[in-house]
Amino acid sequence: MEAWGRWRCLSITTLSFLKPAKSFATQRSIQSASEIRRRGRELKRRRKTGVQATSPSQPYQHKRSTKPPGEVNVMASSVEIATTPSADTPHTCLFLRNDRTQYIFGRVGEGTQRAFTSRKLPIFGTSNVFLSGHVNWEQNGGLVGYLLTAANSAMASLDAELENNERLIKKGKSPKPLSSQALFKVHAADNISHILAASRRFIFRQPLLLKVHEYRQNARDIDPANIDPDYQDDYIKVWNVTSDGIQATSPLKRSRESSTEPGVQEGSSSPILKAGRVPSDPAFAQFVTENFVFNGVLENSLCLLQTTRGELGPDDVAFVKHESSFSRYIPSDTDSQDMTVWVYPTTKEWKEKEKEGKLPTQYLEHVALPKTSYSQTSMSYIVKTMDRRGKFNVAAASSYGVEKMDYKRLIAGESVQGKDGQTVTPEMVLGDTMPGKGFIVADIPGREFVDSFFRRPEWKDTRLMENIFQIYWILGSGLSTDPQVLKFIEDHPEFRHIISSPETCPNMITHPGSAELQMKLHRIDPDRFSILDYNNRTQATAPSSSTVTYGRTGHNVQLMPKLTVNEKNISPFVDLAGASAEVSAAVLQLAKQGKAKASDPAFLAQVEGAEKDIPSRDTEIICLGTGSSCPSKYRNVCGTLIRVPGIGSYLLDAGEGTNGQIRRLFGDEGAREIMRDLKCIVVSHLHADHHLGAVTVLKEWYNQAVRDGNKANLAMVCNGPFRSFLEEVSLVEDFGLHRLFFPSCTANPGAPDRPLATEEHFQGNNCGLKAVKRIPVNHCRRSMATELEFSSGLRIAWSGDCRPSSDFAQACRGTHLLIHECTFDDDMKSHASAKKHSSLSEALGVARQMEARRTLLTHFSQRYVKAKSVSGRLGAGSEEQAVLMGHDFMRVKLGDFQKAACYMPAIDRLMEDLAS
């Protein structure tokens, strides 16, 4: 039961902050074994009673057309720039769609799914993701979150169809056939299976059928004349173009910190590193990803069973053990029948043996992935739509005496009989075939890939390059002025060139809704809500050639049926001044009253007297993300930054996009200062919305430490399974794992967490803490509330996700600041209980029981942005226990909580105005 508690589908529907959800059925997430079993029984019951359904234990397969590729005509195909480099979205990805399906090309960095939400681009319906560049977390850190959202969308879509069929049956009507499940495919260079499989400790049994295509060899390296596409379906053809760079095998072989260079080479996404060995065989990691993590079903085995070679059937999937990991077993006639192997229970017989529990088992979450090395390959792509049949000539068909009922057959490629028995072929009535148009995704992550990229034979093959309209250049820092890049562009004026790099793309606002709300809050309380950092100008000078433009989100090209460049949908620069001017006079009047109260000498004297015993009152609390489940238009997922002057900075959870929120709020220089000051990161539990941004923050901290020559280490407060996740990700990217210490857990992921870490557990590292207290709470397996006690005596407690906990309240009694989750309002208390979260009054109850001096509520369901006033809900002692509701980008000092509370009536009124 505990293992199921970690299973988490992210919320599928991004709700308007103005209204609660219209239908909760479209937002369900599964978090418990009992709920999954209930749904399985319900689906079986529906089938017995005549409701057409697909069992959750059987994947509903994607149905491909039986027509040859290219004969399935679509109305239109277009490619659009979905993201460009900015603080919120560090990389570029393209969105290709037609009226049947959609694809992603490029880098799926952190913030991608939120950018899709902000721009109203659909996530559900994506069939293929083609990752460009080389595989690491920095370039593909948003992929896991994107897949989770797609998985939850798939389940919600099935739920909606089943419920609709039940309504039809009750009305005496026939149920509709269920939609087939689209097969989701990920294409990338080496190590993509490793990264996805590393997430198995917190993601498994997802209702998304995923297949991984990890390319280790290019067909044109073997035969340059081979122009067969590496991938094709009914709508597109794709050719992989690989280029090789130089990376390191592991952090142990880095020469980075010992190099005379202070950090990363200019124009390179990787440090100065030694050449390494070939990455590991991806077979086991791919198996784990496809059968354990994203398998398209809700019920399957979580372990391997020990048996012998002689017990295996011809179709059994088996592995052999090597030290702590496994590799795929390939039978040999010389193998002994008594040889020990490990089988994955897919057949009825093996599943029965698993239930009996007599065979030794090895749970996949506890098995280490095979050792691998950093990727040395960068992927680019040539993409073309399928040829389209010519226009049907009605007059010609009529002249041949073809019956109208046979027009469809001619269009489908069949010959028919005309007048006088004449055979009429499609060629006689169809115009010339329209050749498919295409584009190139040219990804060069760093200078170490440049030479290899331009040596590729594909660029000289006229057959591959014909009908290419546009090249999307996805370039690492400094490469937009590289001589070889500029020479290639100059030599190919027949193409349009779009350059997307940090220098050529403005750091513009990516999420207009969130930024506009921030400006309105700034108008009310500028001390707590500062203006976000952005720049609508590019660092690079304007391109000199008419064939070159710089990447902007929303830039769209229709490829078929008619080639058309559409720049009308380019994302405009956000008018933040206009948003500020929209604040009503009534709100401004309340803000004026709040300011008068907050500056009243008598009030300030009262505050001073009440807070004089609170240490480090100038500690600043910054809400980086106050939402739950998945990033939304107005709230990012969980993350809270604590800055204690003279001591350090501390991060409580780090959902996807946390580093982007830091950069957007503080700017690049401010973000660097925070990284210099960062002493500790806390991860409360294994749900993805609380830690998918941690690796990026760690890498930013490590890069800054290397640049500064800072030898200090960073405290990572987490549980054992998350530590194991970090260790496996470190095999594909150096984010400074060797510079981390783990005061609250051991290297054994199965060992219990340390409930109290003191200076003896800090291993001589000065992290500004006296103690770290971890308290088990009721949410998912190994969920922990945390209290940090600083060297100044300041105490800050963070609940993480949980039901109200008396143990937590007792252990942290008298804490100076409680940060507590408040996922639901009180009208959804039963739902909060079912999902193991806290409602508003329950969170406030913990604050009272704990006697917390100050309380900050956060982690709201994405149903809400409107923060309802908590005035009058605390009862006695409410002035002493000042409570604030968190908003993204809110900055408040511990000693200013009561000042900030003076502005709550104005903020409440603003939210009411926005909701009306």
Write the DSSP assignment of 119-144 as a string of letters.
Answer: TT---TTEEEEEE-B--SHHHHTTHH
Q: What is the largest CA-CA distance in the chain?
A: 106
Retrieve residue 695's tokens.
């690796």
| 2 CB-contact burial (10 Å; exposed 0-12 / middle 13-18 / buried 19+) | exposed
* Cα torsion angle, 537, 541, 546, 551, sign: negative
The C-alpha atoms of residue 8 and residue 310 are separated, in whole angstroms, by: 39
| Nearest Cα to Cα of residue 155 among 110, 208, 102, 115 | 208
Return the bridge partners of 785, or none. Answer: 775
Contact (Cβ atoms closer than 8 angstroms) between residue 625 and residue 639? yes
Q: Tell me if residue 784 falls in helix, strand or coil.
A: strand
**Mean pLDDT by groups of 10 residues along the chain of 916 residues:** 30 28 31 45 44 35 46 77 97 96 97 95 93 96 94 83 89 84 88 96 86 92 93 96 71 42 37 49 92 82 92 92 88 92 91 90 90 93 92 89 89 87 89 91 97 96 96 97 96 97 97 96 98 95 91 96 90 95 97 97 94 96 95 94 98 98 98 98 97 98 97 97 96 96 90 92 94 97 97 98 98 98 92 94 96 96 64 48 92 97 94 85
Instruction: Count, in order, helices (H) and strands (E) of the chain.
Output: 26, 36
Output phi, psi for 812, to 5 deg: -115, 25
Retrieve residue 894's tokens.
């511990």
pTM higher than 0.95: no
How wide is the angle at C-alpha 532 spanned by C-alphas 531 and 538, nearest 5°? 125
Give the pLDDT of residue 19: 34
Give the pLDDT of residue 70: 47
- Rounded alpha-carbon distances, angstroms, from residue 67 to 70, 234, 379, 399, 413: 8, 8, 30, 28, 10
How wide is the angle at C-alpha 526 spanned by C-alphas 524 and 532, nearest 5°? 110
Cβ atoms < 10 Å from Cβ of 223 = 10
Contact (Cβ atoms closer than 8 angstroms) between residue 790 and residue 650? no
Give the pLDDT of residue 26: 29
Give the pLDDT of residue 59: 35
Give the pLDDT of residue 420: 82
Contact (Cβ atoms closer than 8 angstroms) between residue 271 and residue 734? yes
Whether a cis peptide bond, with omega within 30° of 0, leads into 483 is: no
The C-alpha atoms of residue 71 and residue 356 are separated, in whole angstroms, by: 52
Return the bridge partners of 231, or none. Answer: 238
The C-alpha atoms of residue 135 and residue 341 are separated, in whole angstroms, by: 31
| Nearest Cα to Cα of residue 693 among 702, 683, 678 | 683
| Nearest Cα to Cα of residue 684 among 623, 771, 745 | 745
The C-alpha atoms of residue 527 and residue 522 are separated, in whole angstroms, by: 8
- Please compute, for residue 80, the number of CA atoms within 13 A of its CA located in the half-sphere on the CB side: 21
Answer whether CATH 1.20.1250.20 is correct for domain 77-280+376-384+435-504+539-566.
no
Give the pLDDT of residue 434: 86
Cβ atoms < 10 Å from Cβ of 596 = 11
Phi and psi based region of residue 577 (left: phi greater than 0; alpha: psi -120 to 50; beta: remaining) = alpha
Question: Where is 775: in which H helix or E strand?
Answer: strand 769-776
Return the bridge partners of 760, or none. Answer: none
**Do the domains at 77-280+376-384+435-504+539-566 and 593-915 have one common CATH topology?**
yes
Q: What is the DSSP letter of 599?
A: T
Q: Helices (DSSP H) in 274-315: which residue ranges? A: 283-288
| Neighbour order of strands in the sheet with 77-83 | 210-214, 184-188, 126-131, 102-106, 93-98, 77-83, 556-560, 564-566
Contact (Cβ atoms closer than 8 angstroms) between residue 716 and residue 742? yes
* Cα torsion angle, 686, 691, 694, 696, sign: positive
Contact (Cβ atoms closer than 8 angstroms) between residue 215 and residue 238? no
**In whole angstroms, what separates CA 460 from the centre of its chain?**
37
Q: 259-289: buried (b, 16+ CB within 10 Å) or exposed (e) per residue?
A: eeeebbbebbbbbbbeebeebbebbbbbbbb
- Domain range annotation of the chain: 77-280+376-384+435-504+539-566, 283-366, 395-429, 593-915
Answer whether CATH 3.60.15.10 is correct for domain 593-915.
yes
Give the pLDDT of residue 50: 37
- Rounded alpha-carbon distances, angstroms, from residue 784 to 353, 366, 609, 759, 787: 35, 20, 34, 20, 10
Q: 357-377: buried (b, 16+ CB within 10 Å) or exposed (e) per residue?
A: eebebeebbbbebbbbbbbbb
